[in-house]
Amino acid sequence: MSLLVMDIGGSSVKFAVWEKEKLVDKGSFITPKMWDEMKQEMMQLKEKMDAKYTIEGIAISAPGAVNQRKGVIEGASAVPYIHHFPVIFELEELFGCPVSMENDANCAGLAEVWKGAARGMQNVLFVVIGSGIGGAVIVDGKIRHGKHLFGGEFGYMLLKEDKTFSDLGTAVNMAKRYSKRMGLETPLSGKEVFELAEQGDKAAKEEVETFYHYLATGIYNLQYSFDPEKIIIGGGVSAKEGLLDELNVHLARVVESTKIAPFIPDVAICDFQNDANLIGAVYNYELVFGK
């Protein structure tokens, strides 16, 4: 089976062909400004790959709340023109072959269950930490979308009065708090604040400690709400050296403070980074069409 695989993002569309159990012919193009231009780019890409491979279907990772059954992407994203019409069915007509589509965070989660850090597991949470927090709920090996397609929107969870998991549990917002506290006109990055903390900056150390505390608190809440086999951490901050060790220290503190939790959540860093959405899109195609 050869599939043309695409990962639609706000600035670029990554692509590859899934051939003999691996991604080949990887590349990307700038995300077009209009839907007609996007279709033209996609069609040119398919024609190019058709000349080299026998493409049986298209597997797509996309932003937004994807409803495969209705063929629609609900919600909103950085690619507004792909929402609120039967985009999947239109692409099937355009390409003349089956098209599967799934939310990008869900695809990344599926990649970890299929061939990554949660391989062989059936019940997993995938937590993506970027400017906010999102992710995927995987139950019995499949994405649990939820009634309103909000499954995996962990960042909405309230952790402190009106402050959400996204507000308190991301390195991006940690850096914003530090920058505001220090009166900086240009906000620092999370990486810079981590480095300042390691150098002994008192305020930076306090903000990093707060970040880990709330990240651990959110993960604790997820563990005892869903009871997954494992929680996988993805997103930019997952590449930080020592993140998992420090997180486990704070998880142990949170568990100890409750006096009732019987175990510390099993957390791991994702195996896949750049290709996660593409690999997960392939697995989603297999789940949708039973290939």
Element (H, E) at 220: helix 202-226
Contact 42, 55 (CB under 8 A): no
pLDDT of residue 274: 84
Closest CA to 169 of 119, 221, 120: 221
Distance CA 93, CA 98 (A): 9
Residue 28 Cα distances to 15, 31, 46, 135, angstroms: 6, 9, 13, 24
pLDDT of residue 241: 94
Domains along the chain with CATH numbers = 2-108+274-289 (3.30.420.40), 120-269 (3.30.420.40)
13: β partners: 8, 29
Provide the token pair at 291: 């290939």
Distance CA 291, CA 278 (A): 17
Distance CA 196, CA 190 (A): 10
How does pLDDT run along the chain (291 residues), one tens digit per residue?
799 999 999 999 999 999 999 999 999 999 999 999 999 999 999 999 999 999 999 999 999 999 999 999 998 898 999 999 999 999 999 999 999 999 999 999 999 999 999 999 999 999 999 989 999 999 999 999 999 999 999 999 999 999 999 999 999 999 999 999 999 999 999 999 999 999 999 999 999 999 999 999 999 999 999 999 999 999 989 999 999 999 999 999 999 999 999 999 999 999 998 899 999 999 999 999 987
Radius of gyration of the chain (CA): 20
Which residue is listed with tokens 């790959």? 49
pLDDT of residue 136: 97
- Judged by DSSP in three states, 33 sits in coil
One-letter identity of residue 61: S
Closest CA to 28 of 54, 52, 47, 10: 10
The contacts of residue 147 (CB under 8 Å, 6+ apart) are none
Q: For the whole prediction, is pTM greater than 0.85?
A: yes
pLDDT of residue 93: 98
| Strand pairing report for 2-8 and 55-62 | parallel
pLDDT of residue 1: 73
- Judged by DSSP in three states, 59 sits in strand
Distance CA 138, CA 149 (A): 13
